[in-house]
Chain A
């Protein structure tokens, strides 16, 4: 028992020590480096603090976040709503299948040029494009979740004569929610990617714009600070997402855990 505890203590120490050691190594390496691309880590962190607390939050971070979140929210609503409809209609599902497959497969940034020709290079274009590319993973996963509902569950719902509203809100939506969340998670990373790329090629604000500008004008510390900001953004958004998912799908984890416990 005590051996076990000391092992887990060691694991915890390792868990913290390794990232710190890596950071330390980077700091040491960059402080000695004479390379232009590899400024000292301390300089990068100083620039990061200067840039992002709080000077560029309203000019770059806020526009980026607004584009991403609005587009993402639109996609989530539309994807779930349409997924619920298509999921219960095999004919419509079949009819849309090739279009949906094609739109899902195409790499999201490849749509930027067409989006520019259709909507221009303003905010509308970025929001629309983010919404469009985030839409398909949510749609497909919702369809998957809805059409995968257990037949016994469906029969139960029918036998007890639930109303349409009850059926959708209390049964179909929760039953499909594990798949819906899987789609939402994929969408989040695609949305972030499209946000960055579209800001790099067609924008005058945003974190993606800032990073590429910094590189092109050889402000290397600024570039690094921007990259750190994008990394942080991805990490925080993902973390928030997992938090929400863990709350909403607590029942699903419990049910799965008890199911695997039964079979072993």
Chain B
């Protein structure tokens, strides 16, 4: 069953001849429970796309539908995890309060709120750190808090914007396995934006490969790797190597670099660091 549809989405910054076309006519859809990775060359409108999908940015034309309903603002059935964990957590709140904050207005009982907070903090392996402040934790642990907050919100769709791009390699593979686990246990749909090809092949059921800005879908690849995935065994499979190489070629094909200036302008306009 399709849960998320992106249809002829366009996003343009500015007007007239100086306008920057970040996203140009983009369509794809995501099935319920699916793990979809979105990859593209640096500077393509990946983050812009995600912001439009989450309702944070209005699309210039086209639309995004969640469970058949058009998205006009951030929907309650969607949770977002940003790359900048240090800046998306509230430094004046403990880990528990950070996770609790979005639940306060959901009309749940106090007991229900407490259960959700405790469960999701346990789930990401931070049981002992509920009363710590985010800045007392390492980067990887902070990103776990952000994931716990998203889980406690009980979304149908989890949108992640390069969530592991600013942590070290070891932490990164731990977090990748964590998010795969979480997907299995919560049955949540995940849309995961990354610029790391290995990561996308390792995590995804399906990969949407984007072109440079103005971004369109270049190709959609189904990843038929066995589940559960394993950092060593999965990455040794010939299929993994093949998918990896194929995705790499799609992204790096030289003909795609005709407009490097326009491509970077798209990234600067919305302040994405990558």
Which residues on A are within 8 Å of B, measured CB to CB? Answer: 150-153, 155-156, 158-163, 166, 170-171, 174-175, 177, 251-252, 254-255, 258-259
Contact = CB atoms under 8 A, between A and B. Distances in A.
Interface of B: 51, 54-56, 73-74, 76, 78-80, 82, 84, 87-88, 90-93, 101-102, 104-105, 133-136, 149, 153, 271
Nearest to B83: A152
A258 B153 contact: no
Contacts of A156: 80, 82, 88
A255 B135 CA distance: 5
A162 B91 contact: no
Contact of A254 (B54, B76, B136): B136
Nearest to B57: A155
A175 B101 CA distance: 15
A166 B104 contact: yes
| From B92, B135, B271, residue with most partner A Cβ within 10 Å | B92
A175 B153 CA distance: 22
A162 B87 CA distance: 17
Contact of B87 (A150, A161, A166): A150
B105 to A, nearest CB: 5
Contacts of A251: 91-93, 133, 135
Nearest to A156: B88
B135 A259 contact: yes
Contacts of B104: 166
A166 B134 CA distance: 20
Nearest to A261: B135
A218 to B, nearest CB: 55
Nearest to A251: B92
Given A159-B56, A255-B135, A258-B135, A174 B92 contact: yes
B149 to A, nearest CB: 8
By DSSP majority rule, is chain B's interface helix, strand, loop, or mixed? Answer: loop
Contacts of B149: 160
B133 A161 contact: no
Nearest to B104: A166
A257 to B, nearest CB: 8
A161 B51 CA distance: 14
Given A152-B88, A156-B80, A160-B74, 19 more contacts: A152-B82, A155-B80, A156-B82, A159-B55, A159-B74, A160-B80, A160-B149, A162-B105, A166-B104, A170-B90, A170-B93, A171-B90, A174-B90, A174-B92, A174-B93, A175-B92, A252-B92, A254-B133, A254-B136
A255 B132 CA distance: 12
Contacts of A163: 105
Given A159-B54, A161-B102, A166-B101, A153 B133 contact: no
A153 B56 contact: no
A156 B91 CA distance: 13
A223 B102 CA distance: 59
Contacts of B51: 155
Contacts of A254: 91, 133, 135-136
Q: Which 6 A-B pairs have the closest CB atoms?
A: A160-B102, A159-B80, A152-B87, A255-B135, A255-B91, A174-B92
B80 A166 contact: no
Given A153-B90, A252-B92, A166 B56 contact: no
Contacts of B90: 153, 170-171, 174-175
Contacts of A258: 135-136
A171 B133 CA distance: 15
